[in-house]
Amino acid sequence: MEAQAPNPQNKRTVARRHLIYYLRVFNHHTGDLIGNLVDISTKGIMVVSEKVIEPNTRYRLRMVLPDTVDGSKEVDFDAESRWCRNDANQAFYDTGFELLDPSMEFLDAVDRLVEDCLFKE
């Protein structure tokens, strides 16, 4: 499969934050590593991976957090892959995921990540 570029018509309305270090994202159902989170917003995430991720596919994902949030080191969420393209390092792929009805637990985890783990803009 050929990686697809993001749609230029799809303008981002929420600022993304770039991580100081990578957080691992897994397929909740299989336990397989999807990739490493490289940026995040309350609307979506971008993951870098070794494999092409098919666009327009719905996933239940699990993210391993650097610190405990509400008693857990993990947070589960639903997302749909929207695009996939080669990373600057041609051995990897960047994939954009749209969050699907994120829970308050997930949004709280995003807030904590922005506070504690991310570059400020």
Looking at domain 17-102, does it have CATH number 2.40.10.220?
Answer: yes
Predicted confidence pLDDT, tens digits, the chain (121 residues): 444 444 544 454 545 444 445 689 999 999 999 999 988 888 899 999 999 999 999 999 998 877 666 667 888 999 999 999 999 999 999 999 999 999 888 888 777 776 766 544 4
For residue 68, the surrounding DSSP H or E stretch is: strand 58-69
| Phi, psi of 36, rounded to the nearest 5 degrees | -115, 135
How far apart are alpha carbons 105 and 62 in whole angstroms? 12
- Domains of the chain, by residue range, sit at 17-102
Residues 6+ apart with CB under 8 A from 29: 60
Q: What is the pTM of this model?
A: 0.76
In DSSP terms, which residues pair with 24 in a beta bridge? 36
